């Protein structure tokens, strides 16, 4: 094959259809084990040995764990042996890895914090253990009481630590911001009521993800609870038509304003919102509704706290993390795991398994994957898309790469219906390709460039100058056969310092002109129209799954800002103002109704689970975009003022078409300029825009239409 320049960005389906025929039969024979991804993308051929190397590293680990631990799935059950466990006879067994400590004991309310009473023994691997005999079948440590691990360090210093595998920690802010470890052994285990709805049965063919934070899910000026979320928010999500809930800030974190991204206790769910049983009830009720529940898992870094975190746990900075500067994330002010250590792998893989087994989560959104994958952690580095950026020991962190491969392999071996999503901005090739083909094994990646595009357009470009070609390119610029979660905005765009789409569009009048009793001003009219169009075209063209952050479906007013010193510890912006949605005099209800219509229309026709769209028209002057997907015809007029009568659009499948979704309907806050009863569209067998047929439509300005063929 003649030498060609490598691509400078990840590819859309069309690139592959038109350019992928580059592999000869001899080249096919030369594909080594672990580099099967070359069949999808031959541009990776110069890096096939990198692919083979990372594949072999993972296989070697899998073989090692098979030999020494009974397999990677068994290895991930570490939470059953480490930490504190009550046996059937009431004895308590406690195991903890602290290799650099020279003495250890368990202390707490149960023994008046006596450091010398229950001393532990250490094995050759640095694991301390002890069995606390029961008192006639009654555990020595009472349920819901404080405990700690007391260590003597190699320098003779004595320190107290929260057990690394502890399942419950609480804060008493009136005493100290530091967490207390709690022995959690409720007298009655939670009884799951809806286990009969299996993960396979609720596995979404089209994932429509609702990203939510329990603490901000109340309208009141306080932290919301698991039980309130179950009672008040779950029904809203289900009614909207979302089938996946992605829960943020569940793993216990020291600082509420960190949005859950400064984790201190990895096996403890946040006590701010209630008890572990309350969270189980939330997930159980979601499963009752047939919904999949994902955990936003933070394994990319850890809080640097010492008194209630993993940092300096056994007196060294290199136990769980890399020592020195390599173990510190300068931008996040946090510690970075050493993924090459045996016990760190056990800890993290078991952490995933724990949330699957104990809380019945259905999968994970992995935070900070870009930071994990690269030695530079994405700090001060942009990605041009050149493939050289994705390979080589100087760029890629091989141990983190191996951990992500092993994590995905373990989870999907445990249950192929478990869902994993990668938060990666770099476009790493093969991220969502199975390990067997040389990939990392995620099910989906986030399309992080899409919301950036929309914000940039709204901030910097006049409506008349929006480039239809660039919009389509960004929405379709994804790797073939690697599934993508498209979204117009997530929690990142809602945070203080940025603005939600609704705020960019309408902030000047959201406090004065969102009532139906007030005049429909040009700003509000434009804002409502573009809010719907942006979401619809992102939903239908941008990926194989869709995500929305809690409240953005109805154009939530204001940004999100957690209580902190900089705002007087106010909860004013750390809540969801459901009241503006529920007030039927306000126009937020129109956006909410349209969002629901999108989800339910997709559920009926399934464009997310279909092949990527065929775009037949990107007309810069008319500001028109037309494409087909899942047998539907999508027509978007983004022109600020110009409507078109009898506009001719191409369509491949002949027949009669009807409108199944119209953003201009009155119930969506539109102007009802199209009479649906009189709108019947018949194709003409004449080639147009690369399609075999055409039909003609009336398409008003700033309107999106979805047409389906009449059976």
- Residue numbers annotated as active site: 367, 423
Question: At 201, which helix (H) or strand (E)?
Answer: helix 199-202
Exposure of 411 in the CB half-sphere (CA atoms within 13 A): 33
The single residue listed with the structure tokens 């089938």 is: 243
Q: How many angstroms separate the CA atoms of 686 and 432, rounded?
A: 40
Q: How many angstroms separate the CA atoms of 328 and 96, rounded?
A: 24
Q: In this structure, what token pair is assigned to residue 696? A: 């003609």
The single residue listed with the structure tokens 């009155």 is: 666
Which bin fits 535, alpha (ψ -120 to 50), beta or left (φ > 0)?
A: alpha
CA 243 centroid distance within chain = 14
| DSSP 8-class letter at 612 | P
CB 433 within 8 A of CB 482: yes
Output 132-137 pairs: Cβ under 8 A, ≥24 positions apart.
Answer: 132/91, 132/92, 132/93, 132/94, 132/106, 133/91, 134/89, 134/90, 134/91, 134/92, 135/90, 136/90, 137/89, 137/90
Please report which residue ranges of 366-518 form alpha helices under DSSP H: 369-373, 398-414, 449-460, 468-476, 491-494, 501-506
Q: At what angle do helices 522-541 and 468-476 cross, to 10 degrees?
A: 40
Sign of the dihedral through C-alpha 263, 268, 271, 274: positive
Q: At what angle do helices 48-69 and 398-414 cross, to 10 degrees?
A: 60
CB 635 within 8 A of CB 699: yes
**Which burial class, exposed, middle or buried, applies to 509 when counting CB atoms under 10 A from its CB (0-12, 13-18, 19+)?**
middle
Q: How many angstroms separate the CA atoms of 604 and 600, rounded?
A: 6
């Amino acid at each position: 094959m003649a030498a060609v320049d490598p691509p400078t960005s990840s590819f859309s389906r069309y690139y592959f259809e038109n350019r992928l025929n580059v592999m000869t039969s001899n080249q096919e024979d030369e594909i080594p084990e672990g580099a099967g991804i070359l069949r999808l993308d031959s541009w990776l051929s110069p890096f096939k040995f990198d692919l083979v190397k990372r594949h072999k590293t993972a296989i070697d680990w899998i073989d090692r764990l098979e030999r020494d631990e009974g397999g990677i799935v068994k290895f991930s059950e570490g939470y059953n042996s480490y930490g504190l466990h009550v046996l059937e006879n009431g004895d308590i067994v406690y195991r903890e890895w602290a290799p650099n400590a020279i003495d250890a004991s368990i202390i707490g309310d149960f023994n008046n914090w006596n450091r010398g009473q229950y001393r532990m023994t250490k094995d050759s691997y640095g694991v301390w253990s002890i069995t606390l005999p029961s008192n006639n079948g009654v555990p020595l440590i009472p349920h819901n009481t404080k405990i700690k691990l007391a260590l003597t360090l190699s320098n003779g210093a004595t320190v107290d630590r929260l057990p690394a595998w502890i399942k419950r920690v609480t804060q008493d802010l009136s005493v100290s911001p530091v967490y207390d470890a709690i022995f959690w052994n409720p007298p009655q285990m939670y009884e799951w009521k809806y286990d009969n709805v299996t993960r396979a049965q609720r596995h979404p063919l089209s994932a429509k993800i609702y990203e939510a934070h329990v603490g901000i899910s109340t309208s009141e000026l306080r932290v919301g609870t698991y039980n309130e979320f179950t009672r008040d928010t779950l029904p809203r999500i289900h009614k909207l038509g979302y089938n996946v809930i992605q829960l943020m800030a569940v793993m216990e974190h020291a600082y509420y304003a960190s949005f859950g991204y400064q984790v201190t206790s990895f096996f403890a769910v946040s006590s701010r919102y209630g008890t572990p049983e309350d969270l189980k009830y939330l997930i159980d009720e979601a499963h009752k509704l047939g919904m999949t529940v994902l955990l936003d898992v933070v394994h990319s870094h850890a809080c640097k706290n010492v008194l209630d975190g993993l940092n300096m746990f056994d007196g060294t900075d290199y136990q769980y993390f890399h020592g020195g500067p390599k173990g510190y994330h300068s931008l996040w002010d946090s510690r970075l795991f050493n993924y090459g250590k045996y016990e760190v792998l056990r800890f993290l893989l078991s952490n995933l398994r724990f949330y699957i087994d104990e809380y019945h989560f259905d999968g994970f959104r992995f935070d900070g994957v870009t930071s994990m994958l690269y030695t530079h952690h994405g700090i001060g580095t942009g990605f041009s898309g050149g493939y050289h950026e994705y390979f080589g020991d100087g760029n890629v962190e091989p141990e983190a790469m191996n951990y992500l491969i092993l994590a995905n392999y373990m989870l999907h071996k445990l249950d192929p219906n478990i869902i994993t999503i990668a938060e990666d901005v770099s476009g790493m090739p093969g991220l969502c390709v199975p390990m067997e083909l040389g990939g990392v094994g995620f099910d989906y990646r986030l399309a992080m460039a899409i919301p950036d595009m929309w914000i940039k357009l709204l901030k910097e470009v006049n409506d008349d100058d929006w480039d239809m070609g660039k919009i389509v390119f960004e929405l379709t610029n994804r790797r073939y056969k690697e599934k993508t979660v498209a979204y117009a905005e997530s929690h990142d765009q809602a945070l203080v310092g940025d603005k939600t789409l609704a705020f960019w569009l309408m902030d000047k009048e959201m406090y004065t002109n969102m009532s139906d009793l007030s005049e429909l001003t040009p700003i509000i009219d434009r804002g409502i129209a573009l809010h719907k169009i942006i979401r619809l075209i992102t939903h239908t063209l941008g990926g194989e799954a869709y995500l929305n952050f809690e409240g953005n479906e109805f154009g939530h007013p204001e940004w999100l800002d957690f209580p902190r010193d900089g705002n007087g510890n106010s909860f004013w912006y750390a809540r969801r103002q459901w009241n503006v949605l529920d007030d039927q005099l306000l126009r937020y209800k129109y956006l909410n109704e349209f969002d629901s219509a999108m989800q339910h229309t997709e559920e009926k026709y399934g464009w997310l689970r279909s092949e990527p769209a065929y775009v037949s028209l990107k007309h810069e002057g008319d500001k028109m975009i037309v494409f087909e997907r899942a047998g539907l015809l999508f027509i978007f007029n983004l022109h600020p003022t110009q409507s078109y009568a009898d506009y001719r659009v191409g369509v491949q499948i002949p027949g009669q078409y009807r409108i199944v979704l119209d953003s201009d309907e009155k119930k969506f806050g539109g102007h009802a300029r199209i009479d649906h009863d009189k709108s019947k569209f018949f194709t003409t067998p004449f080639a147009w825009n690369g399609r075999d047929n055409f039909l003609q439509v009336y398409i008003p300005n700033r309107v999106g239409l979805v047409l389906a063929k009449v059976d």
